């Protein structure tokens, strides 16, 4: 048995709180305010029945957490995964609060999840589960209260079922209750690519800051789902060479370069990137340690830890995933001169275009993809510059710089509003 297998699992909620504590300490936050921001505002756990195709009734467990509502309604995705825990959802909700604040959009943080492996459900079972779960959490949901979105294993189709379920209860169509919907139901142009596009905007800025020419740069991407595969395509469009990619089954590497489009076609056909012609199969651990200029973790939490941080060879780590780096690893990477673009900045393109979608829905408007991408670039570029300035001013890494900006904004809003009653 390897140390990898016996090491205690890392608790995402403890990581999120530690990241907050660090910023709160540096900002010298009022102790009472610190206690308020350190915990979620609301946690809802639901157990709900679903009719299965074989006639049985199964009971599933789901969560919706609202971390902070000081700056606006809660915003955050819903994930379907067999390993979802309440602590994970709490961490993701807190990260959403900071993420929205970093890019300056008027939302608080929320997150949801259902403990289920959706790959084991038929389409009918998936629809039944989605509609029943959304009904159960609808006591918290609304276009002015809490606006969910897609996350791991949830899709525009599932968002359509959510929106329809809520609308049926209201008696009229409410497109603004969720984002990440199909275009035909009030979804935004460019939403599907937004997380990856925002990530690449920040990589371009980081490369310029460090004097790295992206046309001769190499890239490794962990996670070849929506964010990872599109990030690979966009980095290739910048002129970079994608040398390694992976998914949940493992990875592939070819230091001479991989064609992201062909790899995606292979994955769609075979259900894995492994076995791709002309590439060697590698593990996810090997992917992270691949020699490259830019490493994009676009999979799950806690991938870069104290155990492998010394072996990361990238010059830039761009966190397209939420929480892929632990605090210990952060410190090691910073000491080694690795430039980290933290998740709450790097992958905020998704929630930013979700915000655009919500604004369009509330106004019954529709923007072109060109307009959406141009607005996204302005917001991501400005947020990157603000975080970099904070990091340089205080001599801290980019994550702490991002937290200093985000926590200060949320703390100011919370303090200004005061305690009710």
CA distances from 54 to 57, 61, 81, 117, 143 (A): 9, 20, 22, 17, 36
Tell me if 405 is assigned to some domain.
Answer: no
Mean pLDDT score, 118-133: 98
pLDDT at 365: 96
Q: Does residue 407 have a pLDDT over 80?
A: yes
CATH classification of the domain holding 113: 3.40.50.10860
Tell me if 407 is assigned to some domain.
Answer: no
Measured distance CA(44)–CA(64) in Å, rounded: 5
Q: What does pLDDT average to over the chain? A: 95
Q: Does residue 5 have a pLDDT over 70?
A: no
Q: Does residue 2 have a pLDDT over 90?
A: no
183 shares its domain with 55 = yes
Torsion angle of C-alpha atoms 314, 318, 324, 329, degrees rounded to 10: 50
For 283-294, what is each residue's pLDDT tens digit?
999 999 999 999
Mean pLDDT score, 149-162: 95
Structural contact between residues 263 and 273, judged by C-beta atoms closer than 8 angstroms: yes
Tell me if 310 is assigned to some domain.
Answer: yes
178 shares its domain with 267 = no
155 shares its domain with 207 = no
**Domain stop point among 160, 188, 216:** 188
pLDDT at 7: 60
Tell me if 239 is assigned to some domain.
Answer: yes
Tell me if 173 is assigned to some domain.
Answer: yes
Tell me if 412 is assigned to some domain.
Answer: no
**Domain stop point among 314, 341, 368:** 341
104 shares its domain with 237 = no
Tokens 């510059």 correspond to what residue?
Answer: 385
State the residue range of the domain holding 155. Answer: 41-188
206 shares its domain with 219 = yes
Interior angle at CA 261, CA 257 and CA 265, nearest 5: 120
Tell me if 286 is assigned to some domain.
Answer: yes
Measured distance CA(247)–CA(229) in Å, rounded: 10
Measured distance CA(316)–CA(352) in Å, rounded: 23
pLDDT at 95: 93
For 305-323, what is each residue's pLDDT tens digit?
999 999 999 999 999 998 8
255 shares its domain with 336 = yes
182 shares its domain with 300 = no
Mean pLDDT score, 245-265: 96
- Give 300's pLDDT tier (boundaries 50, 70, 90): confident
Mean pLDDT score, 158-177: 98
230 shares its domain with 328 = yes
Structural contact between residues 226 and 180, judged by C-beta atoms closer than 8 angstroms: no
pLDDT at 199: 98
Cβ neighbors of 185 (< 8 A, separation 6 or more) are 160, 163, 175
Measured distance CA(278)–CA(259) in Å, rounded: 11
For 195-216, what is each residue's pLDDT tens digit?
999 999 999 999 999 999 999 9
Tell me if 362 is assigned to some domain.
Answer: no
93 shares its domain with 176 = yes
3-state secondary structure the chain: CCHHHHCCCCCHHHHHHHHHHHHHHHHCCCHHHHHHHHCCCEEEEEEEEEECCCCCEEEEEEEEEEEECCCCCEEEEEEEECCCCHHHHHHHHHHHHHHHHHCCCCCEEEEEEEECCHHHCCHHHHHHHHHHHHHHHCCCCECCCEEEEECCCCCHHHHHHHHHHHHHHHCCCCHHHCCCCCHHHCCCCCHHHHHHHHHHHHHHHHHHHHCCCHHHCEEEEECCCHHHHHHHHHHHHCCCEEEEEEECCEEEECCCCCCHHHHHHHHHHHCCCCCCCCCEEECHHHHHCCCCCEEEECCCCCCECCCCHHHCCCCEEECCCCCCECHHHHHHHHHCCCEEECHHHHCCHHHHHHHHHHHHHHCCCCCCHHHHHHHHHHHHHHHHHHHHHHHHHHCCCHHHHHHHHHHHHHHHHHHHHCCCC
By C-alpha distance, which of 7, 1, 6, 2 is closest to 305?
A: 7
Interaxial angle between packed helices 398-417 and 369-394, expressed in degrees from 0 to 180 and rounded to the nearest 10: 100
Cβ neighbors of 314 (< 8 A, separation 6 or more) are 220, 292, 293, 294, 295, 338
Q: Which two tokens stand for residue 159?
A: 């968002």
Q: Does residue 324 have a pLDDT over 50?
A: yes
The number of distinct structural domains making up the chain is: 2
Q: In what order do the strands lie in the sheet with 218-222?
A: 280-282, 250-253, 241-247, 218-222, 294-297, 316-318, 339-341
pLDDT at 9: 78
**Domain stop point among 159, 188, 217:** 188
For 47-78, what is each residue's pLDDT tens digit?
999 999 999 999 999 999 999 999 999 999 99
CATH classification of the domain holding 202: 3.40.50.720
151 shares its domain with 201 = no
101 shares its domain with 214 = no
pLDDT at 152: 87
160 shares its domain with 223 = no
Where in the sequence numbering do the catalytic residues fall? 111
**Radius of gyration of the chain from its Cα atoms, rounded to whole angstroms:** 21
Distance of alpha carbon 278 from the chain centroid:
31
């Amino acid at each position: 048995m390897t140390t990898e297998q016996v090491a205690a699992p890392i608790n995402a909620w403890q990581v999120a709180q530690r990241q907050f504590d660090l910023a709160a300490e540096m900002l010298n936050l009022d102790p009472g305010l610190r206690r308020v921001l350190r915990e979620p505002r609301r946690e809802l756990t639901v157990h709900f029945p679903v009719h299965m195709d074989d006639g049985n009734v199964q009971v599933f467990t789901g969560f919706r957490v609202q971390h902070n509502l000081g700056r606006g309604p809660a915003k955050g995705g819903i994930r379907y995964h067999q390993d979802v825990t309440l602590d994970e959802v709490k961490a993701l909700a807190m990260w959403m609060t900071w993420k929205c604040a970093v890019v300056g959009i008027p939302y608080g943080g929320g997150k949801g999840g259902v403990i289920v492996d959706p790959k084991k459900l038929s389409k009918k079972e998936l629809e039944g589960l989605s509609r029943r779960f959304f009904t159960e959490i609808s006591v918290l949901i609304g276009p002015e209260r809490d606006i969910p979105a897609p996350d791991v294993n949830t899709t525009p189709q599932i968002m359509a079922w959510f929106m329809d379920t809520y609308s049926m209860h209201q008696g009229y169509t409410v497109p603004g209750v969720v984002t990440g919907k199909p275009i035909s139901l009030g979804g935004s142009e460019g939403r599907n690519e937004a997380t990856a596009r925002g990530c690449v905007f920040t990589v371009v800025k980081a490369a310029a800051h460090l004097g790295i020419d992206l046309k001769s740069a190499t890239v490794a991407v962990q996670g070849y789902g929506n964010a990872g595969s599109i990030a690979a395509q966009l980095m290739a469009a910048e002129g970079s060479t994608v040398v390694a990619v992976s998914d949940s089954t493992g990875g592939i590497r070819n230091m001479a370069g991989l064609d992201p489009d062909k790899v995606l076609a292979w994955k769609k056909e075979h259900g894995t990137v492994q076995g791709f012609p002309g590439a060697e199969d590698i593990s996810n651990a090997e992917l992270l340690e691949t020699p490259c200029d830019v490493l994009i973790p676009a999979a799950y939490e806690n991938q870069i830890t104290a155990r492998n941080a010394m072996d990361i060879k990238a010059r830039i780590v761009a966190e397209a995933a939420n929480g892929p780096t632990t605090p210990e690893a952060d410190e090691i990477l910073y000491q080694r001169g690795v430039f980290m673009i933290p998740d709450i900045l790097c992958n905020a393109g998704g929630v930013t275009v979700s915000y655009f979608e919500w604004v369009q829905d509330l106004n019954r408007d529709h923007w072109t993809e060109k307009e959406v991408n141009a607005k996204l670039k302005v917001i991501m570029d400005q947020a990157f510059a603000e975080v970099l300035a904070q990091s340089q001013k205080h001599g801290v890494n980019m994550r702490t710089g991002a937290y200093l900006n985000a926590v200060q904004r949320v703390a100011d809003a919370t303090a200004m509003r005061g305690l009710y009653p």
